[in-house]
């Protein structure tokens, strides 16, 4: 009888697993980006990630997006003064480069916000990094010649 009670107690207990990262999602157009923000050095699918590194789909962010885009995706880190404080890993899916880049900025900003809301939220909110851009591609309409806004050509006479 006492063994049954002990078993029930063990089943009702929920184990809380402490993650060593903050997980957020960023979206833009058709792109979905999953961001993990680590507070220390780590390895991710065989790639070592040190503080200050941003890895996108197992490549350095500079290789994936190009050097010109570094200014864009590092902006939330620069504004909060956390450039070399975190190791960041990113998985991108869907869309094109521009949509993925914007989604990544949103995901990084959300992760920094979740790390310390009191300290970073005001700066991120002021620059508009915590709001999702809801614009998406307009759907194709019937009778428009295959485009969303095109009209069929009318005869001259």
Q: What pLDDT, on a 0 to 100 scale, did the predictor assign at position 60?
A: 93
Map out the domains of the chain as residue ranges: 19-127
CA distance 155 to 99: 39
Instruction: Give the pLDDT band (50/70/90) at residue 151.
Output: confident
Q: What pLDDT, on a 0 to 100 scale, did the predictor assign at position 17?
A: 65
CB hemisphere CA count around 58 (13 angstroms)? 3
Q: Indicate the fold that domain 19-127 takes in CATH.
A: Ribosomal Protein S5; domain 2 (3.30.230)
Helix/strand/coil for 11? helix
Instruction: Give the pLDDT band (50/70/90) at residue 143.
Output: confident
Q: What pLDDT, on a 0 to 100 scale, did the predictor assign at position 10?
A: 56
Q: What pLDDT, on a 0 to 100 scale, did the predictor assign at position 124?
A: 93
Instruction: Give the pLDDT band (50/70/90) at residue 46.
Output: confident
What is this structure's pTM? 0.82
Cβ neighbours of 50 (radius 10 Å)? 13
């Amino acid at each position: 009888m006492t063994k049954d009670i002990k078993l029930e107690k063990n089943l009702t207990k929920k184990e809380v697993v402490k993650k060593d990262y903050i997980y957020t999602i960023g979206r833009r157009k058709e792109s979905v980006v999953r961001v993990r923000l680590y507070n220390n050095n780590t390895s991710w699918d065989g790639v070592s990630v040190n503080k200050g590194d941003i890895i996108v789909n197992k490549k350095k962010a500079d290789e994936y997006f190009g050097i010109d885009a570094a200014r864009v995706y590092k902006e939330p880190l620069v504004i909060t003064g956390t450039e070399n404080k975190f190791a960041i890993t990113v998985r991108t899916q869907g869309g094109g480069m521009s949509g993925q880049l914007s989604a990544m900025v949103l995901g990084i900003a959300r992760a920094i916000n979740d790390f310390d809301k009191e300290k970073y939220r005001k700066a991120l909110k002021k620059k508009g990094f915590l709001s999702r851009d809801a614009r998406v591609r307009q759907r194709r309409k019937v009778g428009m010649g295959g485009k969303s806004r095109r009209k069929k050509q009318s005869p001259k006479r």
